[in-house]
Amino acid sequence: MLQLSQEEQYSGIPVFTLSELNTSIKATIERAFPETVWVVAEISEIRCNTKGHCYLELVEREEEETIAQIRANIWAYTFRNLASKFEKATGETLKQGMKVLLQVNVTFHEVYGLSLNVRDIDPTYSLGEMARKKREIIDRLTKEGLLQLNKQIPLPLVPQRIAVISSKTAAGYGDFINHIDDNPYGYKIFHTLYQSSMQGQEAEASIIFALRKIKEHRDRYDAVVIVRGGGSQVDLSCFDTYGLAVEVAKFPLPVITGIGHERDDTVVDIAAHTKLKTPTAVAEFLLSGMSSFEERLLNAQRTLIHLIEESMKEENHRFQYLVQHYRHIVRDSFSGEVNRIETVLHKLIHGTTQSINSHNNRLKLDMSRIVGGFNILLQQQENKIKHYGQAIRLLDPVNILRRGYSITYFKEIALKDSGDLQEGDIIRTKVYKGTVRSKVEALYAEE
């Protein structure tokens, strides 16, 4: 304790330097907490440095209000063991928002202040807390009438247009696509990936965003598939949240999950239309649905063919009976009609022969007249043609050229007006025998 003169005393209250005060606090805390204690708290912040040490901010809340807060440290060697132990028991990693039961030493450092040194963790407490939260969410969804909502949407008989929510780098997504595309039945399923984070703190918001994008184009799809898998089964708490479960429950298309969560069903699994354990199982489910529908079609085809064959047999028997029954009636009726037809035919032939003979004579007379008139007309036309031919030969340009005339061309067009030319233009003149090529040196207008 700092020694002061009588005049420097403050009403008898002891005076310490800061280091003395902190040393006194440290000693008091060490006497009050000589051994480790168990502490229940929520992790509000967690960060690890490159050396492997883990630093926590622990809080206690009442109705979302923080009523206590303290720092905690987990040194690297201890953290490796505790993290592995916790993850193995719970399937989760230590993260923000998680409620934990920690065994700690209460320490006070003269410079860094009060903190907790974590020595151990009880995973069963966190498991109980996670299970309690999960039950609360399921109960809430049940009371709100949402838990069975998506299951009431009928799954199409042949779901061929699938919207897939996954990470394109996830092994489970690759398994799903390979199983769908390379199926032994040759079925074609159209799928579109909506890229999303499938674990970690951003996963819930990322998946909800993908669902809302699909909802904007829901007419393009028959169902939605949420798949992940491969690697560690950790960091799946996003599938046990109320917000994501509500989005799935209220989604206007059937939602099928295959998130590879072997240990237990998540809240999203329970709220979805159909839950399967792995992405491959989802692919098999879709393919088996198509196979089942194909088998139903084949059975219906076989049944229809059988019914048609039976119906045809019955109709054939009826037809044979009718043929036998009416054959005699038709034969008798046909015999009577034949006699009547022969009588009518005889009368028709006789009358026709007489009419033909009468008209044949008239036709011969008319034909003789037509032939005579036609010959006269032909002779007249032949004379006209000869006359026209003579006139055409006289007008042939070759005959005109022979008489001393010529034709002048400018740009391969017969020249009619000298006004179309200019001095220096090249013209071509056609005479009876040969062609003359000229250059215009002067032009004279005709008065």
Q: Per the domain annotation, does 214 fall within a domain?
A: yes
Residue 447 pLDDT greater than 60, yes or no: no
Structure tokens of 257? Answer: 């999950």
pLDDT value at position 170?
Answer: 82
Q: Per the domain annotation, does 12 fall within a domain?
A: no
For residue 416, the enclosing domain spans: 406-439
Report how far residue 108's alpha carbon sits from residue 100's, in angstroms, rounded to the nearest whole number. 22
Q: Per the domain annotation, does 205 fall within a domain?
A: yes
Average pLDDT over residues 158-174: 90
81 with 153, same domain? no
Q: 408 in the Ramachandran plot: left (φ > 0), alpha (ψ -120 to 50) or beta? A: beta
> For residue 278, which phi and psi values (nearest 5 degrees)?
-135, 160
Encode pLDDT of 239-266 as tens digits. 888 999 999 999 999 999 998 766 668 8
> For residue 200, which phi and psi values (nearest 5 degrees)?
95, 180
State CA 343 to chain mean position distance: 80
pLDDT value at position 234?
Answer: 47
Encode pLDDT of 403-439 as tens digits. 777 888 888 888 777 777 888 889 888 887 888 888 8
DSSP category for residue 420: G
Q: Per the domain annotation, does 212 fall within a domain?
A: yes
DSSP state string for 321-370: HHHHHHHHHHHHHHHHHHHHHHHHHHHHHHHHHHHHHHHHHHHHHHHHHH
Which of the pair, 295 or 152, is modelled with greater confidence? Answer: 152
105 with 154, same domain? no
Which of 101, 129, 157 is the endpoint of a domain? 129
Strands (E) across 332-379 are located at none
Report how far residue 199's alpha carbon sits from residue 93's, in angstroms, rounded to the nearest whole number. 11
Which of 259, 291, 323 is the endpoint of a domain? 291
157 with 178, same domain? yes
The SS3 assignment for 214 reads: helix
Nearest to 16 by CA among 26, 149, 201: 26
163 with 278, same domain? yes
Domain count, the chain: 4
202 with 155, same domain? yes
In the structure, what pLDDT confidence band is assigned to residue 168 with cuts at 50, 70 and 90?
confident
Report how far residue 295's alpha carbon sits from residue 58's, in angstroms, rounded to the nearest whole number. 60
In the structure, what pLDDT confidence band is assigned to residue 319 with cuts at 50, 70 and 90?
confident
Nearest to 229 by CA among 201, 203, 259: 259
Give the chain's length. Answer: 447
State CA 183 to chain mean position distance: 19
Q: Per the domain annotation, does 350 fall within a domain?
A: no
Number of H helices and E strands in the chain, helices first, is 9, 14
186 with 101, same domain? no
